[in-house]
Amino acid sequence: MHPLLTFAHDVMPFTKGWPDWILYGLLVFIVAFGILNTLVAPLTGISTYIERRLAGRAQYRWGPNRVGFRSMLSALPITRGLAKLADVQPIKFIGSKIPGGLLQFAADGLKLFTKEDIIPSQADQLLFRASPYVIMAGSFAAFAVLPVSFHFRAVNLNIGIFYILGISSIVVPGILMAGWGSANKWALLGGMRAAAQIVSYEIPVAIALMTAVMLAGTMNMADIVDAQRSGYGIQKAGLLGWYAFRYCGLMLVPFVVYFIGGCAEVNRTPFDLVEGESELVAGYHTEYSGFRWSFFFMAEYSNMFAVGAIATTMFLGGPLPPYPVQFTEALFGPMGNLGMILRFGEGFFWFFAKSYFFVLVMIHMRWTLPRYRVDQLMNVCWKVLIPIALVWFVLMCGVRMVRMEMALGPEKDAVTEGHK
């Protein structure tokens, strides 16, 4: 019997009479739901907090600074008493070391949860209700194959990166569903724009990613990470092994193409004309309110993180640290279980640090750059990014073939290994 089933029987004895397949199906759903919510919901929450703080800085105003641990601590009776003794205000007594507003996203979530869920009477009831779920499913499903730490991810999928490209394409019908179902012409136009934009930018994104796939010789994301451990003929390459810095910097071009295309795919500035307020009110989610509206934003922020995470995995070595990973392997290796936990933490830290770097860059871009016009947007994609991506793909094919012919040093093993 599956260990999951025996566990469920132990914990919940009343499930013993249930047919195995019902219980198994339920458990799979519960586990997947639990993992996704504990991973993705905080990610989106933290991203919204960072976004608001940075927006506050960029626009020279306060960001969220009230709802958080600082105010919670200052509201405690003991703090109030001590502050009274010291004759200062409680909030001053706590000091400014703890950033304020840390719990703003929780308060936002609570607010959205209790808001009225308005469905326009002219809207297509079924499509209007269904679309947030389709979009969420498409953007959450990509998280299944991200290599969060060394040899740690939900699924070890052989086609990893291709799966992400495939599964995230159900977001586009979801967006069109929202746009059309709202029975609102701005929503429809916004949905159409978003779909056209995502479909167009999928091409340079996919070609840029395939350049890295071609060099690694595999689509498995964990194997792509492993392929970035060495480079330039050095086994312990560290930072130099990452694909963005390999081949004398030639790979920087697909990396930048991917990042630009990724920003466009998640509809972030300078490509956010999907929700250009001056033209389209708020785009495809104009008519949404309350919790359904928040689904769109959860999807947007989780997509932002996913773009950063994919860029990290494919071009910046994923969980690999900038120093040669073999050092910490040698250090933590003999330490048994503690060493395993330390190694896991190390990979986890570097993966999230790099991914959040991209999220930060995207947020900075949003508060710095103006937005493109729709024809400029299409020109950038079809006349600039796609030709560059294609030419670079062929170029890297040539480079790889030459290297395989020469097959120098330790590179030989990596090349033939990937070619097998």
124 binds another protein (CB under 8 A): yes
**DSSP state string for 200-225:** HHHHHHHHHHHHHHHHHT---HHHHH
Nearer to another protein, 180 or 351 (CB): 180
SS3 label, residue 246: coil
Virtual torsion, Cα 298, 304, 308, 314, nearest 10 deg:
90
Q: How far is the CB of 52 from another protein (least distance, A)?
A: 32
Number of residues that bind another protein (CB under 8 A): 28
Q: What are the two backbone dihedrals, phi and then psi, of residue 122, each rounded to the nearest 5 degrees?
A: -85, -10
Q: For 319-372, give the secondary structure using H, E and C.
A: CCCCCCHHHHHHHHHHHHHHHHHHHHHHHHHHHHHHHHHHHHHHHHHHCCCCCC
Contact pattern for another protein over residues 197 through 236, marking x by CB under 8 A = --x--x----------------x-----------------
Q: How far is the CB of 291 from another protein (least distance, A)?
A: 22
Nearer to another protein, 46 or 144 (CB): 144
Q: What's the token pair of residue 145? A: 């194959």
417 binds another protein (CB under 8 A): no
User: In terms of Cα–Cα distance, which of 221, 201, 207 is closest to 318?
Assistant: 221
157 binds another protein (CB under 8 A): yes
Give residue 351's identity as a one-letter amino acid code.
F
Q: How far is the CB of 160 from another protein (least distance, A)?
A: 10
Region near another protein per CB under 8 A, out of 64-72, 192-200, 269-277, 336-344:
192-200
CA angle centred on 265, ends 259 and 270, rounded to 5°: 70
Region near another protein per CB under 8 A, out of 92-100, 112-120, 123-131, 246-254:
123-131
Q: 284 near 179, Cβ under 8 Å?
A: yes
Nearer to another protein, 163 or 255 (CB): 163
Q: How far is the CB of 416 from another protein (least distance, A)?
A: 14
CA distances from 250 to 111, 205, 242, 313, 389 (A): 48, 17, 12, 18, 12
83 binds another protein (CB under 8 A): no
8 binds another protein (CB under 8 A): no
How many helices and strands (H and E) does the chain possess? 19, 0
Angstrom distance (rounded) from CA 141 to CA 168:
7
Find the binder of another protein among 6, 12, 16, 20 (CB under 8 A): 20
**Residue labelled with tokens 């566990």:** 7
User: In terms of Cα–Cα distance, which of 8, 33, 54 is closest to 366?
Assistant: 54
279 binds another protein (CB under 8 A): no
Q: How far is the CB of 168 from another protein (least distance, A)?
A: 8
Find the binder of another protein among 159, 342, 374, 395 (CB under 8 A): 159
Nearer to another protein, 188 or 227 (CB): 188
Find the binder of another protein among 56, 173, 339, 410 (CB under 8 A): 173
378 binds another protein (CB under 8 A): no
Q: 277 near 96, Cβ under 8 Å?
A: no
Nearer to another protein, 137 or 250 (CB): 137
Q: How far is the CB of 340 from another protein (least distance, A)?
A: 28
In 50-156 the beta strands, taken as DSSP E runs, fall at: none
162 binds another protein (CB under 8 A): yes
Nearer to another protein, 164 or 363 (CB): 164
**Residue labelled with tokens 């194997």:** 223
Q: Could you list the residues that contact another protein (CB under 8 A)?
A: 20-21, 24-25, 124, 126-127, 157-159, 162-163, 165-167, 169-170, 172-173, 176-177, 180, 188, 192, 195, 199, 202, 219
